[in-house]
Amino acid sequence: MDLARTNGRHTQTTASLRRMLVPLALAQFICSFAGSNMNVMINDIKDDLHTSVQGVQVCITLFLLVMAALMIPCGKLTDRWGRRRCFLIGLAIYGVGAVLSALAPGLGVLILGNSILEGVGTALLIPPVYILTTILFRDMKSRAWAFGVISGMGGVGAATGPLIGGAITTAITWRAAFIFQALIIVIIVLLARGITDPLPADPDRPFDIVGAILSAVGLVVLVGGIMAADNNVGLMAILIAAGALILAGFFAWIRSRERAGKEALLSTSLFRNRTSNLALITQNAQWAVLMGTSFVVSAYLQVVRHYNAIQTGVIFTAATVGILLSSLAAGRLAKRFRQRSLILTGFVTAIVGIILLVFMVKGNPGAWYFAPGLFFIGVGLGVMLTPSVNVVQSAFGENLQGEISGLSRSVSNLGSSFGTAIAGTILVAGLADPKRAYGIAMIVTALIGLIGFGAAVLLPAAEPAPGTGTPSPQPKTA
């Protein structure tokens, strides 16, 4: 990395860039942690708040869904309000939601605090993380390293969520896990004082309110339909069809806005980049595999095998170790191998892990039969999270970073929602025959991984030139 980098009128030294990366990476960690730590609290929350496993699943899925639904509009808002301001506002809303969740007397208040406020806060603070990283780290190698740190922290947050959440829940109470989140938010706010925004905010930039509503409502209705599968197949079909129609209306709306010369919520040009589109599919599949596996295994261990929170969390240490090892090696791997190769390798490794989770667990009552499969899944995800993000973000110039960052994070969180909703619904609906339901849920998760693998196969073999998404004339040789 060069001793200094110049971006417009701003010059950042290597040391100052790394200092700014700390709160950004820590923010990704805590948001990913929040998406998975509740998985080991299912029984505790269910008993304390007098609800059901499905009620807790709804709370978890809604948190992921709110993030996905609002990530695109919030990514656009960064242009109007500024990246740093959106980041700090998001942290504040998230912190309030964490405290409210800790004090929740019932499921409704928990949904308000965790699913709504933490979801809104995350949607505001995450796009600036990726926009600032893309703008501040100018060349492909330093940007790959920075994304490796952030994506690695995201993967570690998702993987350690069950372990840390389980330890806190068992030692104190599940409510203390939300206090832990609030304390981390305070630390991030203090560290964020050193963040500078390289680009000025544009308060007069138009904001597509109708587009924001259509995109958010369409995603909520679509995922709501998936979650209705275990109660009413007819309602599921109606909601999925309605969600698809609303999203089709959203795309028609943004096209009409562009034809009229008005600014739309998303530029349709984002969807004309084949490389970016394929990499977005891989992102969606990666997080669907991670969160789907996390919920299914956690729920199975607690509801069927009656493990407590810390026992469940300890079993997930295998996935944590896998992600840590592969994430720490992400920078070196990016220098030696093409990003496409890393993504393909990651999916193959994760799918092998899922197969192990199905066949090693079958007929074996011991907890440690889960470890090899979870380890392979962790390694696979750690290998491919960073290159997928880098391919997407690097496909566009600075003028589209707000939009592509919001779209990228929305697609990833939508994958998390799909994974929890689809695999989780299969498991919850089949608890009368839990072993069969577990196997089917994991097989469906593996199929999602195969979809991601197929998209990765279609990625160009050459490295994309930064800002274009087209193959570079001098690709890596490794």
Q: Are residues 249 and 172 in the same domain?
A: no
Q: Are residues 260 and 285 in the same domain?
A: no
Number of domains in the chain: 2
Q: Are residues 358 and 421 in the same domain?
A: yes
445 close to 292: Cβ distance less than 8 angstroms: yes
User: How deeply is 51 buried, as exposed, middle or buried, from its count of CB atoms within 10 A (0-12, 13-18, 19+)?
Assistant: middle
CA 407 to chain centre: 12
Residue numbers of the domain that contains 255: 208-264
From residue 19, give the alpha-carbon distance in Å to each of 26, 157, 193, 195, 199.
11, 20, 10, 8, 19
Q: Are residues 126 and 166 in the same domain?
A: yes
Q: Is the dihedral of CA 456, 462, 463, 466 positive or negative?
A: negative
DSSP string, 447-478: HHHHHHHHHHHTS-SSPBPTTT-SBPSS----
Q: Provide the pLDDT for residue 465.
A: 53
Q: Provide the pLDDT for residue 229.
A: 67
Rounded Cα distance, 334 and 386, in Å: 9
Q: Provide the pLDDT for residue 477.
A: 33
Q: Are residues 73 and 104 in the same domain?
A: yes
Q: Provide the pLDDT for residue 44.
A: 92
From residue 194, give the alpha-carbon distance in Å to each of 21, 197, 412, 462.
10, 10, 28, 37
Kind of pairing between the strands at 10-13 and 4-7:
antiparallel
Q: Are residues 344 and 250 in the same domain?
A: no
Q: Provide the pLDDT for residue 201.
A: 83
Q: Are residues 77 and 127 in the same domain?
A: yes
Q: Are residues 187 and 220 in the same domain?
A: no
Q: Provide the pLDDT for residue 259.
A: 92
Q: Are residues 77 and 91 in the same domain?
A: yes
Q: Are residues 21 and 129 in the same domain?
A: yes
Q: Are residues 245 and 273 in the same domain?
A: no
pTM: 0.78
Q: Are residues 142 and 257 in the same domain?
A: no
Q: Provide the pLDDT for residue 432.
A: 67
Q: Provide the pLDDT for residue 299.
A: 87
Q: Which of 229, 249, 264 is the last residue of a domain?
A: 264
CATH number at residue 381: 1.20.1250.20
- Asked whether residue 464 is assigned to any structural domain, the reply reads no
pLDDT along the chain (478 residues), means of 10: 41 73 93 86 92 88 85 85 93 97 96 95 90 79 78 79 89 95 96 85 87 90 79 82 94 92 86 91 93 89 87 87 81 81 95 94 80 94 86 78 75 84 80 81 94 94 57 39
